[in-house]
Amino acid sequence: MEKILFILVVILFASPLFAVSADDEIKVDQIGYRILDDKYAVVALDKAEYFRVLRTSDKKEMFTGKLSGPIRDEDSGDTCYIADFTDFNKEGEYYIEVNRELKSYSFTIGNDIYNKAFYKSARAFYNQRCGTKVSGPDGFSHDACHLSPAMFHPSVGNGLSGTIDVSGGWHDAGDYGRYTVNSGLSTATLLFFFERNKVKAAALKMDFPYTGYKLPDLLEECKYNLVWMLKMISPNGGVYHKVTPLQFPGFIMPEKDTSKEYVYEVTSCATADFAAVMAIAARVYAPYDSEFSARCLRASKKAWAFLTSNPGIVPEGGFKNPADTNTGQYADLSDTDERFWAAVELFNTTGESEFEKFIEINSVNDDPMIEKAAWWREVKPAAMISYCYGTQPSKNMELDAKIRLDLKRHADVLIGRIKDSGYKITMLKDDYIWGSNNIILNYSINLIAASELCKDKSYLQGAEEALHYIFGRNPFNMSFVTGLGSYYCMNIHHRPSAADGKEEPWPGLLAGGPNNGRNDDVLRGLSFDTPPMKCYQDSLQSYASNEVAINWNAPLVYVLGYFSK
């Protein structure tokens, strides 16, 4: 008996869980903070006064401070004190202690803290590949999947019937569908990152199990999805909305999913998003792969021609699943922002006046030009920023200046929100929607853009605060990205993670996050007065708060990449 007890004690102390245990009230970024950054931890307690920063290796006290606050944080319902240890600038591994008993998780102070997370979140795209075998040093793998030709769903019309090869691309999310609208913005976000941070982006190594790749890894990865997108263009230049089965499959590995896949009708939202991302690709790939670049530009222009000959939303009222179908809809009542974005990217790539005119006409009523985060249904913020980054000599400098001015105002508003918030974030109560973690990261993309386009580096700190929230400084004291941080979500709604027989979820994936819309039974089961920032559960069943998706991982890659070294 004693022997068993002894073994139990040894196991307990040797287990990683014991080593990383912490008290939930003391919330830090479990990855860490860069040396010269602002450094805040949040202490969610009714009463506390002082904090200490201790070195993990020997528990030596390195820094002490007085907590500021408290801030009554409405969105979380928490009383938040702030531990500000900005002045502590020594590289190393530390934790925070409050009231001489409560401890935080360990975190690192150093300038290369985001490198691993950048790599993992980017590599997650490779892991989402459909139509091919996936394997790698992380130990996660699946066999080639979804290779059978898809059927045209009868609702497609236009005399199209029979089958079509639409294999490839990235699995959208926790399901295995491929959706043009979402693919467009996701790939574009990665290409924007590449275009605006060339040296760093081109240096990223993604450990592909292939030889013979010639492009920078991130461009190889994006090309894999773009090649699939090119299969989705229909004979008239319009682009099919999605390829999915009629119903979501069960929790099985992709190669086990033999449900029949269908291609759905052309939509103007899909066509415009396609035109935009193909135009971006045309210029980003030009120096590396002129043939592919030219192919993307031709496809983009063909899609644009479809849009000009179909000026209203296609189909009328936007896409809706036919009666026999129950997969993702990416339903959007308006395609004007998507069309605007297509025009911006085509202008940035070609400089042609047709696009410039379209941009001018379709922005006269925008006031302000930007005040929100981009997401799959609302792409105008991304378009506005892209216009300013554009370098065509014929661009309208007055319009450019107006966007920059409004971007600066927007950035000031975001910084103000961070100051007032208990968790030091840019989010509004209404931002806690399905995929809210992508809203906070897209705000950061806006702040990074503001810092570059309005020449004010102070916005960068605001952009980085989002990472601190994502990696643990949140009500759950949990990292929302699998495999990163001491304590991260384990039960993501991701079929390969649930079906592969491993306890560990697939790495580098960002959970959707708190969703006050409560669009699943788990969230509806939470008590009625749960504050918006707490409408989340690390549960496999909570697809509306704990699924992962390419359009949420893409801004994560962007922001991590920006702050990586």
User: Degrees (nearest 5) of the Cα angle 402, 405, 408?
Assistant: 150
| Count of residues that bind Zn ion according to CB under 5 A | 5
User: Degrees (nearest 5) of the Cα angle 446, 451, 453?
Assistant: 85
Candidate list 73, 78, 175, 464; residue touching ligand 9MR; CB under 6 A = 175
Q: Work out the burial of residue 291: count CB atoms within 10 Å of its CB; fewer than 13 is exposed, 13-18 middle, 19 or more buried.
A: exposed
> How much helix, strand and coil, in percent to the nearest 5, is found in the chain?
40, 15, 45
Pairing outcome for strands 107-109 and 32-33: parallel
Say whether residue 517 binds ligand G3I (CB under 6 A). Answer: yes
Stretch that binds ligand G3I, among 104-112, 119-127, 225-233, 326-334 (CB under 6 A): 326-334
Task: Tell me if residue 184 falls in helix, strand or coil.
Answer: helix
Say whether residue 264 binds ligand G3I (CB under 6 A). Answer: no
Q: Which does 130 bind (CB under 5 to 8 A by kind): ligand 9MR, ligand G3I, Zn ion, none?
A: Zn ion
Say whether residue 175 binds ligand G3I (CB under 6 A). Answer: yes
Measured from the CB atom, the residue of 173 and 303 that comes closer to ligand 9MR is: 173
Say whether residue 78 binds ligand 9MR (CB under 6 A). Answer: no
Q: Which does 433 bind (CB under 5 to 8 A by kind): ligand G3I, ligand 9MR, Zn ion, none?
A: ligand G3I
Beta-bridge partner residues of 32: 108
Q: Answer whether 98's CB lies under 8 Å from 25's CB.
A: yes
Q: Answer whether 67's CB lies under 8 Å from 59's CB.
A: no
Say whether residue 522 binds ligand G3I (CB under 6 A). Answer: no
Measured from the CB atom, the residue of 271 and 436 that comes closer to ligand G3I is: 436
Min CB(531)–Zn ion separation in Å: 38
The interface with ligand 9MR within residues 326-345 (CB under 6 A) comprises 328
Among 23, 335, 356, 547, the one annotated catalytic: 547
Stretch that binds ligand G3I, among 168-176, 250-258, 351-359, 379-387 (CB under 6 A): 168-176
Say whether residue 435 binds ligand 9MR (CB under 6 A). Answer: no
Distance CA 135, CA 140 (A): 6
Among 25, 29, 37, 175, the one annotated catalytic: 175
420 is an active site residue: no
Report residue 442 as tokens: 């897209």
Pairing outcome for strands 150-152 and 262-263: parallel
Candidate list 23, 273, 345, 547; residue touching ligand 9MR; CB under 6 A = 547
Closest alpha carbon to 45 in 101, 107, 87: 101
- Close Cβ partners of 90 (under 8 Å, ≥ 6 residues apart): 62, 109
175 is an active site residue: yes
Q: Which does 197 bind (CB under 5 to 8 A by kind): ligand 9MR, Zn ion, ligand G3I, none?
A: none
Min CB(173)–ligand 9MR separation in Å: 6
Distance CA 417, CA 435 (A): 20
| Count of residues that bind ligand G3I according to CB under 6 A | 15
Say whether residue 403 binds ligand G3I (CB under 6 A). Answer: no
Measured from the CB atom, the residue of 169 and 475 that comes closer to Zn ion is: 169
| Letter string b/e over residues 70-84, b meaning 16 or more CB atoms within 10 A of that residue's CB | bbebebbbbbbbbbe
Distance CA 440, CA 377 (A): 16
The interface with ligand 9MR within residues 402-421 (CB under 6 A) comprises none
Positions touching ligand G3I (CB under 6 A) are 172-173, 175, 177, 328-330, 433-435, 517, 519, 543, 547, 549
Catalytic residues: 175, 493, 538, 547
Positions touching ligand 9MR (CB under 6 A) are 173-175, 248, 328, 543, 547
